[in-house]
């Protein structure tokens, strides 16, 4: 129970990478919490956006692995925003504050939807160079809750948590997936009523992605073949929306593959980011791009049979 919370890796992460709190709005109750690790000389890092139930910590294994290979990684947690435009405006101000012109975004579930909406919001003056969308969606109507979206702010925290937990895997899962679920339940417990209500509002208010506005953004779609909160229909819709996207399939991994299948997810992230090596949009320190690293990736690929590249 709660293996991840007491694991040496997690404790190392918590004791080594400082949590920063940044306010960019006039409202000083809107605080962005983030971990910023790796070489600060990198001006186009990869930024991780969590799902409804997640905090900035849920990507600690990505932060650890990617920074050890020379990448700059930022994992963040959003403040309370009730409207998608308000979120996008706040995120743009955060990037300005961090002096980041363009970024790569990895979004899980709601985080992936917000990443797409931000790419769309900034399409006239692009801030998103590429997207990795993990178990994500492009249209909120798939949750059939658009009619309740405006009432989440009234609901008590226990009820909101019950709604979120209803999407977690039920039935037998392997030990790593069970640990991931326990960890996410623990993270969910740490969120306030307003944090949870605002995220569910963003997740369910009537909205969809306009693909023509982000057609020039490189996309990788990561999804799982086993049980997750996303319907097959939602996955198919994503493939249709991004016909040129690379597809990375995991046989298993449930809702939180970045926690329970982190080695595979980290490999797919590396493969995605490798296309930008040697450009000004590289997320890695040029000195760390070594022949050995590429060799390691090739050997990983040879046994990773379910990798499918559509490009």
pLDDT in tens, 39-55: 999 999 999 999 999 99
Higher pLDDT, 227 or 214: 214
Q: Which domains does the chain have, with CATH numbers?
A: 4-309 (3.40.50.1820)
pLDDT in tens, 127-140: 999 999 999 999 98
Per-residue pLDDT band for 283 (boundaries 50, 70, 90) equals very high
Tell me: pLDDT of 310 over 70: no
Q: What is the pLDDT of residue 234?
A: 84
Tell me: pLDDT of 245 over 60: yes
What is the rounded average pLDDT of the residues 203-227? 91
Q: Are 84 and 118 in contact (CB under 8 A)?
A: no
pTM of the shown model? 0.92
């Amino acid at each position: 129970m709660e293996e991840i919370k007491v694991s040496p890796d997690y404790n190392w992460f918590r004791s080594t990478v400082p949590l920063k709190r940044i306010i960019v709005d006039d409202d000083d109750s809107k605080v962005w919490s983030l971990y910023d690790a790796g070489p600060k000389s990198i001006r186009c890092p990869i930024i991780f956006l969590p799902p409804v139930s997640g905090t900035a910590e849920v990507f600690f294994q990505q932060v650890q692995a990617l920074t050890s290979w020379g990448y700059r990684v930022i994992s963040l947690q959003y403040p309370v925003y009730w409207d998608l435009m308000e979120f996008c405006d706040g995120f743009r101000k955060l990037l300005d504050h961090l002096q980041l012109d363009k970024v790569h975004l990895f979004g899980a579930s709601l985080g992936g939807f917000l990443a797409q909406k931000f790419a769309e919001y900034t399409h006239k003056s692009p801030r998103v160079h590429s997207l990795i969308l993990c178990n994500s969606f492009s249209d909120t109507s798939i949750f059939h809750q658009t009619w309740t979206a405006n009432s989440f702010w009234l609901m008590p925290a226990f009820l909101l948590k019950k709604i979120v937990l209803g999407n977690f895997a039920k039935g037998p899962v392997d030990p790593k997936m069970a640990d991931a679920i326990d960890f996410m339940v623990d993270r969910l417990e740490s969120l306030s009523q307003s944090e949870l209500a605002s995220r569910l509002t963003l997740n369910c208010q009537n909205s969809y992605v306009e693909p023509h506005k982000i057609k020039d953004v490189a996309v990788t779609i990561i999804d799982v073949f086993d049980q997750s909160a996303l319907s097959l229909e939602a996955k198919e819709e994503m493939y249709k929306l991004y016909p040129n996207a690379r597809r990375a399939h995991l046989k298993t991994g449930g809702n939180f593959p970045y926690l329970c299948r982190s080695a595979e997810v980290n490999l797919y992230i590396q493969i995605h980011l490798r296309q930008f090596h040697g450009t000004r949009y590289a997320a890695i320190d040029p000195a760390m791009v070594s022949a050995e690293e590429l060799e390691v990736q090739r050997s990983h690929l040879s046994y990773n049979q379910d990798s499918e590249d559509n490009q």
